Amino acid sequence: GNSVTQMEGPVTLSEEAFLTINCTYTATGYPSLFWYVQYPGEGLQLLLKATKADDKGSNKGFEATYRKETTSFHLEKGSVQVSDSAVYFCALSDQQAGTALIFGKGTTLSVSS
């Protein structure tokens, strides 16, 4: 079946450091890929998405590229801020079947000043 694997957290960085959170997926069909973020005390919200191979999703300085050859969708940011501290979830959905989002376990990011 379809699944998502994320790197284990927590990830602890200093402000302005480079961030990478790894995400790989297994899919029998053709998935759309997503990163969702959950800030403390708030609900899940979409950060970025990509719907076909080699597409790059970007938002708020975050980027992720849909790599079909490596079945990956790693999240990156060049310079993190304290306000980026949150839990990040990688997710997929099968495009043809229109299935609901399947989430990874989440990676907690903590940024200190």
Partner 1 sequence: EAGVAQSPRYKIIEKRQSVAFWCNPISGHATLYWYQQILGQGPKLLIQFQNNGVVDDSQLPKDRFSAERLKGVDSTLKIQPAKLEDSAVYLCASSLDRVGRGTEAFFGQGTRLTVV
Q: Does residue 99 touch partner 1 according to CB under 8 A?
A: yes
Name the one range near partner 1 by CB under 8 A: 14-22, 68-76, 78-86, 100-108: 100-108
Task: Name every residue whose Cβ is closer than 8 Å to that of residue 50 and which is 6 or more positions away in sequence.
Answer: 32, 33, 56, 57, 64, 65, 66, 73
Q: Does residue 94 touch partner 1 according to CB under 8 A?
A: yes
Name the one range near partner 1 by CB under 8 A: 13-21, 27-35, 57-65, 71-79: 27-35
Q: DSSP characters for 49-88? A: EE-STT-EEEETTEEEE-BTTTTB--EEESS--GGG-EEE
Q: Quick count: other Cβ atoms within 10 Å of Cβ 28?
A: 9
Binding residue (CB under 8 A) for partner 1 from 23, 57, 86, 106: 106
Q: Does residue 27 touch partner 1 according to CB under 8 A?
A: no
Q: Quick count: other Cβ atoms within 10 Å of Cβ 75?
A: 24
Nearer to partner 1, 60 or 105 (CB): 105
Nearer to partner 1, 17 or 38 (CB): 38
